[in-house]
Structure 1
């Protein structure tokens, strides 16, 4: 059966040109029909994964009307990039303070790398001659920026409603002792069942802000700024719940995080034109449908890929995973450590990656959607499912790779397509030394951020 499946992969694999070839993105024209395209990565430190996503995204933007790039990153950091690529001015606070550089939280190299830098510059150049409503935006979906989000909300309110800004300072003051290390808030709540939480205050702040939507947007005529403040308020509320759940139930914390990312995506699309289409960049563990992995089957977890299929419908969503056999990767051995360039152990013989390796193809795309893929291929995949799949996040521990980085999955149900690179290289970090970071709980290990 394995030999037959390898032969079927060979015969059905779509050959791809080099990433440097201008035609690379055109091989993914079929993705242009979808409302939401989620592009995964098998690790957060592999150059080919980032470059492939960038080339596919560029093509979808140029030829298929995609105008939104949403990534597995924090909202305030991504907004700094969005202001750059769309040339959006920032909110003017009464007391101006230097802006903290974006993407300083561990792992800095996940977004501070040459591959992302090139994509960001391309987006700015693409937007340069477009009217503001048609410029392509860059947005973050994650929820680890509680402290920066609180600062952003207060800065915005200082410009539109100083009384509300003072109320926000009072309400968010409940979280102030914990913003340097929000995991300590969750731990303290877990250890002291009688401890008062900050849930009521952050939800009241969110409710009051939403009630002011029409007043603020009509008075200042800047929907982007209100939308950002609204998103930051949602983020603070979800982060407060996330850190409380972290110590009581790991399943809840993962699902809360991916639910936040999905709801952020929904609000983002609701704020856009009806014809807007979005590309999402996130780890395979987030974009591959969790129902067809051990995440969902054994641990009851959900993810953004599953939620997109359920909400938008399969005909409107494409989930594209990717993998590699060996090479190098940028990662850390422990949470908070500096980035290192490590060798990737060749894939296990009982993994999906090894089947792709046995095909002998250096690079290919494999269609897995039932309406488009070979029925014989899908039947053969189903007969060997589930198999192990490798997940490298921002931590890589080659010595314990089977336990640390492999999990079972049904590839053809998990993804709609699979992008393969036989040998890959590490991303090129712009910063090698990790700044001191108080947020140190590796609750997302082994999948990373």
Structure 2
């Protein structure tokens, strides 16, 4: 195992050496609301793009919202000149995950980088998640109305099937227990038509195809959610892994992707108690599909600090205190052993016990109650199997949300709000 004190971007050099030949690099976060994680992720991703030639960034966000950001950072027709304007249009709660000053700074850098390059060489920014059913449906209507009016009927059939549930789309899952209420046939028909059109058209068709995949994934997600258990979580992470693979194919031979998501999605589920509960995640799926040598999983964590989160689902975000990690946890051991900031690259015969043994590892979602620290907010983990590398920040501070429209989003499944 290699340990490098982290104080400047050049201190990522040992990690860059580890990821230099990887096709996929996933960079996690222990919370969605810590400035330090976003800043470190930005610094590392800039180097992956500039020095290693990565092709796109895929994030734990909705495809339509992120597509507006993508159009801005790549200078596409109709895209905002200022990426922050696209980020401020994010509506689904919690908006602060992507509509924040830290992401805006990275996107401004990315646009400047891209504007110095020909269009085929520009680096994209894409959403991997499954929640944007209505927004994706509208995007499909907009596309088909201009490019393939003959396929509008398939889109209208799918829309009419979901329409009775309105914004309470989770109620579709309840209704879908009865076969007559299911929208599977309509969604499959829509997906088939947009996939066929994407085969002959350009980037706009690919985006429409992905929106159709979101609609199909959302239909499966809400049906699985009613059954409880790991089903809806697995539908969601499988959808994100499938989207990542479509992007790699779309960007062509030699394409390489960076993924930004919570540790619970990035770190291999097989090295945690998630596996015993029947759960998988995008980090595990990427290793299985592409091979461990082609995928590098990087976790982040801290001992204490402040974080942006909400006390309950849909509530306004607020800065909260993150207390010192509990005794016996990964974070407590790193607090005792590591400098204030460090990069750990796992591997070799000299792995200490806290890397190979099962220890509690903190995970904070968009909903957080610090009083749960005594019994919740931790995932039993073999750190060196869950990640290829880990970035340590002893103390973190809350990120800086942008002013944004807010609307209650779909409830996310266990681990809560990640």
Task: Output the TM-score relative to the length of structure 1.
Answer: 0.88
Which one of the candidate residues 244, 251, 269 is aligned to 2:248?
A: 269
The answer on 1:288 being equivalent to 2:267 is: yes
Residues 310 and 167 of structure 1: CA distance in aligned 2, closer, same or farther (over 3 Å): closer
1:440/1:60 CA distance change after superposition, 3 Å: closer
Instruction: Specify the alignment match of 2:82 in structure 1.
Output: none
1:6 alignment partner in structure 2: none
* Shift in CA distance, 212/194, structure 1 to aligned 2, threshold 3 Å: closer
SS at match of 2:109: helix
Aligned residues of 2:310 and 2:316 also touching (Cα < 8 A): yes
Contact 2:161 2:183 in 1 (8 A): yes
Within the candidate set 404, 409, 413, 1:443 is matched to 413
Deviation at 1:276, TM superposition (A): 1.4
2:144 pairs with 1:144: no
Q: 1:68 maps to what in 2? A: 56
Among residues 1, 15, 29, which one is paired with 2:5 in the alignment?
15
1:346 — aligned with what?
324
Unaligned runs of 5+ residues in structure 2 are 80-85
Q: How do 1:31-430 residues align onto structure 2 when only pairs under 5 Å count? A: 31-90=19-78, 102-190=89-177, 193=178, 195-215=180-200, 217=201, 223-296=202-275, 298-368=276-346, 370=347, 373=348, 375-378=349-352, 381-382=355-356, 385-430=357-402
Q: Secondary structure at the match of 1:404?
A: coil
Deviation (angstroms), 1:112: 0.8
Output the CA distance in 1 between the equivalents of 2:198 and 2:148: 12
State how far apart, in whole Å, the 1-side matches of 2:4 and 2:88 are.
41
Give distance in 1, aligned partners of 2:4 and 2:90. Answer: 36
- Structure 1 pair 179–38 and aligned structure 2 pair: CA distance change class (3 A): farther
Give the direction of change, closer, same or farther, for the CA distance of 1:267–1:15 in structure 2 (3 Å limit): same
Question: For the Cα contact (< 8 Å) 1:39–1:319, is it kept in 2?
Answer: yes
Number of residue-to-residue matches in the alignment? 411
Q: What do you get for the CA RMSD once the two structures are aligned?
A: 1.9
Give the 3-state SS of the residue equivalent to 1:261 in structure 2. helix
Equivalent pair of 1:337/1:434 in contact (CA under 8 Å): no
3-state SS of the aligned residue for 2:350? helix
Cα distance per residue 1:373-414 (max 9 Å; x no partner)? 4x12256633xx211010001111111124431121111100
Larger Rg: 1
Q: Deviations over 1:4-49 (max 9, x none)?
A: xxxxx8xx421111xxx45355453222221100000000001111
- Rounded to whole Å, the distance in 2 between the matches of 1:56 and 1:236 is 33
- Partner Cα separation in structure 2 for residue 345 and residue 245 of structure 1: 35
Does the CA-based 8 Å contact 1:107-1:394 persist in structure 2? yes
Query: Any conservation in 2 of the 1:41–1:283 contact (CA below 8 Å)?
Result: yes
Tell me how far apart the structure 1 counterparts of residues 88 and 102 of structure 2 sit (CA, whole Å): 18
Distance 1:25 1:123, change over 3 A: farther
Tell me if structure 1 keeps the 8 A contact 2:74–2:119.
yes
Contact 1:365–1:418 (CA<8 Å) still a contact in 2?
A: yes
Query: Matched residues in 2 for 1:387 and 1:43: separation?
Result: 18
How far residue 249 of structure 1 moved from its aligned partner, in angstroms, is: 2.9
Q: Is the 8 A contact 1:397 1:404 kept in 2?
A: no
Q: Which runs of 5+ in 1 are unaligned?
A: 1-8, 92-98, 218-222
Cα offsets for 1:175-210 (capped at 9, x unmatched)? 1222412212113334xx354200110011111222
Conserved? CA contact 1:25–1:58, under 8 Å: no
**Structure 1 residues 179 and 59: alpha-carbon distance in aligned structure 2, compared to 1, 3 A threshold:** farther
Mapped contact 2:94–2:406 kept (Cα < 8 A): no
1:108–1:214 CA distance, 2 compared to 1 (3 A): closer
Distance in 2 separating the partners of 1:100 and 1:280: 18
CA contact 1:328–1:341 (8 Å) conserved in 2: yes
